[in-house]
Amino acid sequence: KAGVTQTPRYLIKTRGQQVTLSCSPISGHRSVSWYQQTPGQGLQFLFEYFSETQRNKGNFPGRFSGRQFSNSRSEMNVSTLELGDSALYLCASSLLTSGGNEQFFGPGTRLTVL
């Protein structure tokens, strides 16, 4: 069974631009969660989607948004990029909503904002 895939793997953007990241969960997994990972802050939860509905949201500004499609694939969008948005963005999938069920992470998208 294929794992979680994320595209692109690397991105370089400039301040003020916007970016869209994509995540394909493990086949059969309907829950997708997004995390931001930085050296100083560790893994910070962004949001979770289940059956195309946002079920949970972390403490990030409205510039961070996401969506999930009927095939469970998910995208996250960051608008008006700031230097501090440089991070590894991780997607994790699980069979049901996260917690109690194992989360499986993708390789991440490394975003660099110049």
Partner 1 sequence: QQQVKQSPQSLIVQKGGISIINCAYENTAFDYFPWYQQFPGKGPALLIAIRPDVSEKKEGRFTISFNKSAKQFSLHIMDSQPGDSATYFCAASFLSGTYKYIFGTGTRLKVLA
Please report, as ranges, the residues that interact with partner 1 according to CB under 8 A. Answer: 4, 6, 33, 42-43, 45, 48, 50, 55-56, 90, 92, 97-108
> Least CB distance from residue 80 to partner 1, whole Å?
26
Nearer to partner 1, 60 or 104 (CB): 104
Nearer to partner 1, 61 or 99 (CB): 99
Prior bond to 107 cis, omega within 30?
no
Q: What is the torsion angle, in degrees rounded to the nearest 10, for the CA atoms of residue 12, residue 94, residue 61 and residue 112?
A: -10
How far apart CA 111 and CA 52 sit, in angstroms, is 25
> Least CB distance from residue 16 to partner 1, whole Å?
28
> Least CB distance from residue 68 to partner 1, whole Å?
14
DSSP string, 77-100: EE-S--GGG-EEEEEEEESSSSSS
Nearer to partner 1, 51 or 71 (CB): 51
